[in-house]
Each structure stands twice: as C-alpha cells, then as structure tokens.
A = this chain, B = another copy of it.
Amino acid sequence: MSLIVQKFGGSSVANAERVMNVARIVTDTFSKGNDVVVVVSAQGDTTDDLIEKANEINPSASRREKDMLLAAGEQISISLLAMAIEKLGFHAVSLLGWQAGFETTSSHTTARIKRVEASRIKKELDKKNIVIVAGFQGISKYGDITTLGRGGSDTSAVAIAAAMHADLCQIYTDVEGVYTADPRKVPNAKKLDEISYDEMLELATLGAQVLNNRSVEMAKKYNIELEVLSSMAKASGTIVKEKTKMEKMLISGVAKDEDVARISVTGVPNVPGFAFKMFSKLSAKDINIDIILQSIGHDGKKDITFTVAKARGAEAVEVLKKYASDIGANEVLYDDKIAKISIVGAGMESHAGVATKMFEALYDAQINIQMISTSEIKVSVLIDQKDADKAVSAIHEKFFD
C-alpha cells in the first residue's frame, strides 16, 4: 500500500462535471489500495471573482483581509469534491489549511509554509477516509488565515508529500506532462517521460508554466517524486525526480518567456561601484534583475543592459531616472517588445557545442540575438518578440527532429 498525494488545479474542478471526473480519478487510486490525500485549488474563476468583489469595495484592502476572502475559494472546492466522492460511495473528509496543519509565516498573500502538522490527516487516513485538503492556504502563529501566493497549491501538495513521506505526488493539470516545447505552438513537441528537478526548475523560471518553482524546489529538497499529468487524458505524464536516465538527450526543452523587458543605461562612468549603486537602488524596490550585459568601456564610459519582469519595467526606469546623476547614467532606454528563448538540459553539462547548435538554428532562421546568458544546464537568448515563436520552432527542430 502506498501513500499518494494528488493535486488538482482550478480548471480541473471548474464545474460539477469536472469535479465528478476528479472524484473518479481519486477513488480509482483509492480502490487500488492506496491511501490518498488530495489537494485542491479554488474552482476555475472563483479567485478572480473574489478579487473583483474586493476591488469593487476597496482595491487597497489589507492583505490579512484579502487572505480571509480568497481562502473561501478552496473551502468551496474541497467540500464539493468531498460530496462528489461520497456520491461514488466512498468516505471523504475535507480539511481547510489550518485543519490540515499548514503552519505558515504571517506574511499575508505570500506566506511560506513552516511546517505541516499532519496528525489530523493521519487520523483521517487511519479511518480509511479519502482526505481532501484546501491548497494555497494555511494559518499564522497569530491564528489568522494566510495564503501562499501564486502556484501555492502545488507547494501545498509537495509539503504534504514531504511531511507524510508520500510515495508519489501527482500534479494534475490541463496539459499531459512536460513537453520539449509548448505543444500548442510547436506541433512536433514531445512529452518527456522524465525530467530532473534542476531542469524543471529552469523550465519553470523560463516561462513553462507547468509547475510552480517553489514546489519543485521543495520536491528537490525532500526528494519527493513528482508526476505531472492531465486530469482529462488517461495517460501517464512526466516524472520529475533527482536523476533521470535520459543521458542521451542533449536538452529537455525549449521555453519562451515574453514577460520580460530590457533596460539599458548608457554612459555609465567606467569606474568601480556604479553598477553596484544602480542595482542596489533596484533591489531596494524588490525589483529582480535577470540577464545582465555590460559593454566593454570606451572613452571612460560603458553601457549596462539588463532585463526585468515586464510588470516592474516602468517602475525600474523611474527609479533609474530619479537616481540618474547618482549612478552616473547618461540615458535610460526601455524596450518591452522582446522575448527570452531558452534551452534547458542536464545533458549540456557533459556535451560541448549545445549553445553553438542553438545559435546556428537562430542564424538559419535569420533571427538576431540581442543578449545571451548561460548556466550549467541552460542557455538563454534575448530576441525581438515578433520572432519568438519562429525561434522556438527553429531551435526545437534543430535538436529534436
């Protein structure tokens, strides 16, 4: 007998029919002799609807009250799923975050899980109940409801799997697994049978929205085997684990990230300390910097170019212009019509020429590279946004066809 944690996202429980579908998946797993803990997100658009209700009244409401409001979403979905499981003749019990023992930090709307005190879950499993847990939410040491922020339900699922030493944590979603590229854009994209935690982390960072990064990090830390699969298709998905057997494969995927803007600060004095000053102004505002490119200085001046998330672009430019004289800036240029294309693969650590092959694909497609960034298992390039899909296809073809 195994303990399996299954997580279902909002689209998987969006209406009565889909809730029944999830109930069937869950009870099938239970009927095979497994203990099952299910983690559920709020139904479809519930969270958006609740946010709209709040904005109508007070867009700048306190984060404590936002958490109180949003946590109602999973309360609805867990009880409906429990009812659906009862309908199929099985025993189910739904638990809110605090009932399931999710102790979090008290930073409302972006709380982090400190501990899962799983005694109630264990007690219910001992009674042969299927346990349904509200994802995304927990409780602070002050006894207040907290939420975990974006992708929080994935993290909830992995945290339970870790706390209870589950044998497998299945993340059900609306895609059939992790693909070598976005299958809606690249018809030849292949589903991967396996991928390593590190590769998955890079892919998630780079715009492949299959799994939330915090959940993969936690899975890696506690060595929890994840499976990403579809709640609609009856097919096995992609296993995420420490070591994969896919030694032959150079790369595991091509990802596109269009949520990126480029900022160039020109005419920065070519003496130590100015880059530090510039980036410290941005980090003080909690603005994360991604790829950084520094030109070779001439005439005692240099240009520094970097990327930020699009949403923070305007703010970053404002900060830099405000401190223009402090940081010795001449001009601050901004461009958000760009895209970051990345290849990820543990294979490239031991294989030379992977980056070259990527650049060759882009050259063949006549796509200009603006910036380049590399790590052990990743190569990213910045290109014009209009070329993004063409670039992904060209690179995917070069490596996989």
Interfacial residues, chain A to chain B (CB-CB below 8 A) = 16, 19-20, 50, 53-54, 56-58, 61-62, 64-66, 68-69, 71-73, 75-76, 78-80, 82-84, 86-87, 92-94, 96, 99, 120, 143-145
A20-B57, A61-B87, A76-B53 known; A82+B94 contact, CB < 8 A: no
CB pair B69–A76 under 8 Å, yes or no, is yes
* Min C-beta distance of A60 to chain B, whole Å: 8
CB pair A56–B86 under 8 Å, yes or no, is no
CB pair B57–A87 under 8 Å, yes or no, is yes
A144: B residues at CB distance < 8 A? 99
CB pair B61–A86 under 8 Å, yes or no, is yes
* Min C-beta distance of A104 to chain B, whole Å: 16
A120 CA to B20 CA in the complex, in Å? Answer: 39
CB pair A65–B94 under 8 Å, yes or no, is yes
A78: B residues at CB distance < 8 A? 68
CB pair B94–A16 under 8 Å, yes or no, is no
A80: B residues at CB distance < 8 A? 53-54, 57, 69
A73: B residues at CB distance < 8 A? 72
CB pair B69–A72 under 8 Å, yes or no, is no
Task: For the complex of A and B, list the 8 residue pairs with the smallest distance between their C-beta atoms, beginning with the closest.
Answer: A61-B83, A69-B79, A68-B79, A58-B87, A16-B56, A58-B83, A72-B75, A72-B72
A309 CA to B124 CA in the complex, in Å? Answer: 39
